[in-house]
Amino acid sequence: MAGRFCKTLIPDIARYDPNEYDSWPPDDPAVFGPLVTRELAGQIEEARDRGNRIEKATGEKSPLGDGVPWKGVQDAAGTCEVGSVSGTAERPEVTIRYKYADAPEMGWTDILVLSRSAQGWRVDNIRYGERDGDLRSILAETIAGETP
């Protein structure tokens, strides 16, 4: 699942160009849906809807204005490597190491928190290694945001 996550959602790895017109976006439920738990997918959709309403009402970018933060650092990653597994048998945590293409000795690490569903292992959260927080917290903050 962690390898599939890298190949599907990480733009440079997936050969996705966010500036290219009509390129498939990693924020499309058809793209991320098979990789995440049903609960996380629902929270993402709710946060995206709320963020769109905030942007429309205020004219300012919402916390999801640049898309779902699938990784802790929004810089482009040249590689996405699956590392060690920890956590529990019910909620394994998989280390993901990102490296820059032009500086492979540099990079950052995030942790995918997995959960088993009827469809197999799915990502249920992402803990960001280079900054405080996690994906679910950002989504919750967006959902709780107020519009004027």
Strand partners, 79: 99
Question: pLDDT tens for residues 90-116?
Answer: 999 999 999 887 888 899 999 999 999
pLDDT over 90 at 6, yes or no: no
Question: 38-76 burial, b if ≥16 CB within 10 A, otherwise e?
Answer: eebbebbeebbebbeebeeeeeeebbbeeebbbbbbeee
119: confidence class by pLDDT, cuts 50, 70, 90 = confident
As a whole number of angstroms, the distance between CA 26 and CA 44 comes to: 12
As a whole number of angstroms, the distance between CA 82 and CA 10 comes to: 13
Taking the CB of residue 126, how many other CB atoms lie within 10 A of it?
Answer: 25
Domain ranges of the chain: 1-144
Out of 3.30.70.3270, 1.20.1420.20, 3.40.190.10, 3.10.450.50, which CATH number does the structure's domain 1-144 have? 3.10.450.50
